[in-house]
Amino acid sequence: MERTTVALRPARPEDREAIAALDGSFTTDAVYEVTVSEHGFEIRPVPVDPPLHKVFPDDDDDDDDDVDGEAGGAGEDEGEPELTRTTVAVAPDGLCGFVTASFAPWNARLTIRDIEVAPAWRGKGVGRALMRHAVDFARECGAVHVWLEVSNVNAPAIRAYLRMGFVFCGLDTSLYDGTPSAGEQALFMVRPVR
């Protein structure tokens, strides 16, 4: 990524429409197959032919309420406020990516709620730069780790997260049941904040 080409900054209310319009779809020639056993699980990449193209459905929640920077929300179990920050990547022709992250004080965890990079900007360091901003936010908050959830069919994202120092830490085989993503498994990944 050329630093002169893409600028990172806190999201503003006027970014909502561009964030919602960002193309988060992907095409992959592999998926991460999850095999669950009585004593654990195994995850391994498996080729798919023809390649799989995935378009995510629109979110039904109100996550975009946090687009204007930091917002308070209910903490998970302790009633402590949760801090949320959205950072956008802006190219000369408009918004090309964003990351939304929330810090929960009760377990000192920063959760990556969403990270997307426009197809034309993938592989150019935009996602890595956005993740660096999220990790900096984690440090500011005193987080001990950064956590995220990703579908097992999103092999391009999984490979990127592995390169960024994330490791698998769990799964949920039923998280997407009753949604357009039914049949996929949710993989959880974590990396320490150093």
> Under a CB-based contact definition with an 8 Å cutoff, are residues 34 and 185 in contact?
yes
Domains of the chain listed by start with CATH number: 7-144 (3.40.630.30)
pTM, 2 dp: 0.87
pLDDT above 90 coverage of the chain, percent = 80
Indicate the average pLDDT of the chain.
Answer: 89
Q: Which residues pair with 190 in a beta bridge?
A: 147, 167
- Reported as a pLDDT band with limits 50, 70 and 90, residue 58 is confident
* Greater pLDDT, 124 or 3: 124
pLDDT for 121 beyond 90: yes
User: How many angstroms separate the CA atoms of 107 and 160, rounded?
Assistant: 25
Rounded mean pLDDT, 18-38: 94
164 by DSSP, 3-state: which? coil
State the pLDDT confidence band at 59, using cuts at 50, 70 and 90.
low
Task: Write down the pLDDT at residue 57.
Answer: 77
Residue 156, pLDDT > 60, answer yes
Which whole number is the average pLDDT over 49-77? 62
pLDDT at 64 over 50: no
Residue 190: Cβ within 10 Å count: 16
Q: Could you tell me the CA-to-CA distances from 160 to 151, 153, 157 in Å, in that order?
A: 13, 13, 5
By C-alpha distance, which of 117, 90, 114, 121 is closest to 1? 121
Dihedral angle sign, alpha carbons of residues 81, 74, 108, 10: negative
List, in order, residues 6 or more apart from 38 with CB less than 8 Å away. none
Report whether pLDDT(34) > 90.
yes
Residue 151 has pLDDT above 50, yes or no: yes
Distance of alpha carbon 138 from alpha carbon 141, whole angstroms: 5
* E strand map for the chain: 7-10, 26-37, 40-54, 71-73, 82-91, 94-104, 109-117, 145-151, 167-172, 186-192
Exposed (0-12), middle (13-18) or buried (19+): which is 2, by Cβ within 10 Å?
exposed
